[in-house]
Chains A and B, each alone.
Chain A
């Protein structure tokens, strides 16, 4: 498809149901900031949207290097938007490296807005261009708006007495101003934000605002090349209410605080820096007015252990990392299983193995979450589907950990952590509290006492008179909780620990159909952040009268009790995952069904059309 088919051009205005814009430049060009500001203005405008920040692992790559290109993509429109979009309609590039690395995703006929001032011989050489692409005709399939943005920006801020270096830095705001003109966005929120951000340096704030306004004015007044017009993207029909944008990290942090409030338990959040999980530690560390103590431990193991110590002492211990760090925490998680203490373990998954691609998403730690520990140590596993869903999943994870006295693993990923979407803000007072009580009565107390229905062990915290007791990693006697080397007792305790986790299935919602109907030719079954792409793909296919449904699974251990029966009502099952086929293997072994994998491990989320294509292949197979 090209943009020409997608858009209607009328009276110099392009009418589009939805648009994908990507900002790309050097790490130091401020593309993430630019993208976030445009996102905010777009949300305020009333479009539905989703974003995908895509930045390099290098903190300060050499200027102009292709591996230092940082990009921010936003998909916005009048319809429900659940991914950051497959193909780019408008590509904003700040240098040759950004052009060469991003051009392949631009639709033919798409618009390139480019800083011609950055196309110096040195930059073009570094990016690998032999001739200037702005002049050699290689961009003829696109509409190109080449402006010496650097020069324009420096000119716009010349009255503020900035050094040349600082003046050049304003080029991202100049560009943002022009893009805002292109899409008829309001600049007020950005101006507000700049004033706050640079409150201590008003001359910088003023210069940036001047650059923003100059970019916008340029669009209004300059003679623009033919084919460059304003885009009109109608507002989305969204539920009334109060909204904000949120990343998965923010929603997760707030969800943890919500879980703390609903359970009545303070949190002790212990973590060790690792990309892309660290931002959760940063966010919570700045919220000291809430009942959360944050602790940057000396290593991943210490973080898990400090969280366990916190749970032993009566708070809820939370530890957070990404795959490699979770590997290090494995032994400690098993201790929490053995001692039946609550613990929340958050894994913001990234592409691996080992350091892998630390800023890129993958769903390849599912096996680790389900099976990655020594011995029989089943742990409930729950995954977030969207940035906003991180809030709900955090609350649910705390509910499970405290109600069943068990570690819980919460899976997010690098995409959800950084991607933002509008959030219809919930009212915390409408959530059902699940208050946690610690034991206080010495009468008949043993540390092995359990709840008959949940099988959860009693939680008695140090400081409580008369309940002095010892727990530890050695097997415990079923009745007294004292250490026991008895073989029959070990059998009994292992069975009990498994029964407790299996039994959680009775306390979670039955599996519902996310989109579609029970029975039929094909169900696309997903978990985690593939939700958006699967959802759009299934929706498109259903609009074309294809018999396909979407089933999104949130609880991955234990699985909902009706999942197996539900899946068996479909002729075929397709399981798209950003790994080499982990959940599909679980479904095949657990339900003896011929579920088929669809795998992608390129460090990039699924495109909608990739899933659509796989759906079509599956359905052709059925009709044959």
Chain B
């Protein structure tokens, strides 16, 4: 309860439900980070609602001592929209996965982002179906061997951040399950953003897809595989930030350069601009191993209109013009006649 004046702690947000993820699952680290973060978001606990679909990640709400709704496969986005439409004051977090949010629920995700409903979407991307025992998912790399693709998957994967930008998302970010230091500020920004905030989390599934993000999780090679984004700062990476990203205007493509080589200076590098949609789309397209993959906030447009606000403003505008609701008067509107 939030009745006492005591500040809330992680304990207040930890439910008494036994956590049932596999040992070593990346979901544990994400849960811990979010639980730790909750006291910092300045929301009364009773206003926080976690809504999830189906999948390993979607068990998340059971472990948060807030309001929670574990719904059906793919539909968390639609259910959360109904929650916000009904009570815009609630602080809603949608928890979903690559299968839940981008395969069976891809349509709802598209429209949630397009409408820009004010809530946070945490998409746990483990590039596999965990709960149904390891089938390949829409984000699995081509060639992924799984029970349903014993000879390797044939189809091309979908890139969650590119998808979100394409759908018109106004806040798109990426983080890694175990990188608490990097994840926490991203989550705070996502929460702060008024609109649908989309956060892709690279999440390791040690049972069915172990090590799939090792190229970027491994601290030893992190400097070369991560492009950590900071608004207003040049796009650099590598040991001592000696390498950077430059725009090749002839090819209209990004390319890697090394500072000091061929006369390249920091002035030649692209500077990250969260408000630049074209840059965000190019960044979202960067893939290992050819490029380091961006982490942090790819895109943020804080000025875009929010859906539920629009709905209530429009309603108010109509109410300002019409006489107050009167059901008897409504029934008697139009042509009526009296029988004596």
Contact = CB atoms under 8 A, between A and B. Distances in A.
Contacts of A290: 325, 327, 330
Interface stretch (A40-48, A400-408, A570-578): A40-48
Given A254-B327, A257-B327, A312 B69 contact: yes
Top 8 closest pairs, chain A to chain B, by CB:
A309-B82, A472-B70, A306-B82, A305-B78, A470-B68, A302-B78, A309-B79, A313-B86
A137 interface: no
21 contacts: A238-B339, A244-B332, A245-B335, A254-B327, A254-B331, A288-B319, A288-B322, A291-B325, A297-B81, A301-B75, A302-B78, A305-B72, A306-B81, A307-B82, A310-B83, A332-B72, A427-B328, A461-B87, A464-B46, A473-B72, A483-B17
Contacts of B61: 470, 472
A463 B75 CA distance: 22
Interface stretch (B202-210, B214-222, B249-257, B310-318): B310-318
Given A289-B324, A470-B15, A254 B111 contact: no
Interface of A: 40, 43-44, 46, 189, 192-193, 238-245, 254, 257-258, 261, 266, 268, 270, 287-291, 293, 295, 297-299, 301-303, 305-315, 317, 331-332, 335, 339, 425-429, 442, 461-474, 482-483
Nearest to B333: A244
Contact of B336 (A240, A243, A311, A462): A243
Contacts, number: 207
Given A297-B111, A309-B81, 8 more contacts: A193-B335, A238-B339, A243-B336, A270-B82, A301-B108, A462-B49, A470-B17, A470-B70
Interface in B44-88: 44-47, 49, 51, 54, 61-62, 64-72, 75, 77-87
Interface in B73-114: 75, 77-87, 89-90, 107-108, 110-111
A46 B324 CA distance: 32
B340 interface: yes
Given A43-B337, A241-B339, A298-B110, A469 B68 contact: yes
Contacts of B49: 313, 462
Interface of B: 1-3, 15, 17, 44-47, 49, 51, 54, 61-62, 64-72, 75, 77-87, 89-90, 107-108, 110-111, 311, 314-315, 318-319, 322-325, 327-328, 330-332, 334-340
Nearest to B338: A242
B80 A46 contact: no
A313 B87 contact: yes
Given A305-B75, A465-B3, A471-B68, A268 B86 contact: yes
A467 to B, nearest CB: 7
Contacts of B2: 465
A332 B82 CA distance: 13
Given A314-B86, A471-B69, A302 B111 contact: yes
A241 B338 contact: yes
B318 to A, nearest CB: 4
Contacts of B84: 309
A308 B83 CA distance: 8
A305 B17 contact: no
A482 B18 CA distance: 10
A44 B62 CA distance: 61
Given A305-B78, A314-B87, A463 B315 contact: no
Nearest to B44: A465
